[in-house]
């Protein structure tokens, strides 16, 4: 009769331990960078043995992938995706842009780590692009494509990429450079949204 509760307890304890390892890994990667960080550093941060780390992750690379794939920001992006409003193009793009900025602010330490990794490591730049930027771009692309004639929908990808580039660049200026206040950041991004929306509407008119 006690086997099931005991198994459930162990499973929950393992999940908590795994989460603690991921959090410690992110802190160490953020402080030292992926290349300089070691499993010894992460074990020290976690106040655990290196053997415990290797019980959950076979390598530092595997740990990094798990940090990227299981971070709450990824769940946040999916939440943004589910909350995309239907109807008005400008309102939909604006809502998603503001929600995305909110996610970036909430997880600013993680975003900084991602951007640094993408800058210094070509190998990890691809991983960052796939796990983060492409997900945001897909949301914008879906909205834009819905407002374009079928023959012009391939253009949605490049227009969505413009918005993601602006989001990331604005975040860097605001959070890393301190050059934009929160209200200025939102105004800058929303202005870019209006520009992209105008281009979408122009393409739609030209292909009628």
Name the architecture of domain 71-206.
Answer: Orthogonal Bundle (1.10)
- Domain spans in the chain, listed from the N-terminal domain onward: 3-67, 71-206
- Domain 3-67 annotated CATH 3.20.20.70: no
Long-range contacts (CB closer than 8 Å, 24 or more residues apart) made by 11-20 = 17/52, 17/56, 18/56, 20/46
Res 18: pLDDT: 95
pLDDT band at 1 (very low <50, low <70, confident <90, very high): very low
**CB atoms near residue 166 (< 10 Å):** 18
pLDDT digits (tens, 9 = 90+) for 140-199: 998 899 888 888 888 899 999 999 888 888 887 777 666 667 788 888 889 999 999 999
Tokens at residue 34, please?
Answer: 């992926």
Residue 88: strand, helix, or coil = coil
Long-range contacts (CB closer than 8 Å, 24 or more residues apart) made by 87-91 = 89/143, 89/144, 89/147, 89/197, 89/200, 89/201, 90/193, 90/194, 90/197
């Amino acid at each position: 009769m006690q086997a099931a509760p005991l198994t459930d307890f162990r499973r929950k304890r393992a999940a908590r331990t795994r989460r603690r390892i991921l959090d410690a890994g992110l802190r160490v990667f953020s402080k030292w960078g992926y290349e300089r960080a070691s499993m010894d550093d992460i074990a020290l941060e976690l106040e655990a043995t290196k053997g415990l780390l290797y019980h959950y992750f076979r390598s530092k690379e595997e740990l990094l992938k798990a940090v990227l794939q299981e971070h709450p920001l990824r769940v946040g992006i999916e939440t943004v995706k589910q909350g995309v409003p239907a109807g008005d193009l400008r309102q939909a793009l604006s809502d998603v842009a503001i929600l995305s900025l909110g996610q970036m602010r909430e997880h600013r330490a993680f975003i900084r780590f991602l951007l640094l990794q993408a800058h210094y490591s070509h190998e990890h730049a691809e991983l960052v692009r796939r796990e983060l930027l492409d997900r945001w771009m897909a949301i914008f692309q879906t909205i834009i494509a819905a407002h374009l004639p079928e023959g012009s929908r391939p253009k949605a990808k490049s227009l969505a990429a413009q918005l993601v580039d602006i989001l990331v660049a604005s975040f860097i200026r605001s959070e890393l450079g301190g050059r934009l206040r929160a209200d200025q950041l939102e105004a800058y991004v929303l202005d870019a949204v209006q520009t992209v929306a105008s281009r979408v509407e122009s393409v739609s008119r030209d292909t009628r």
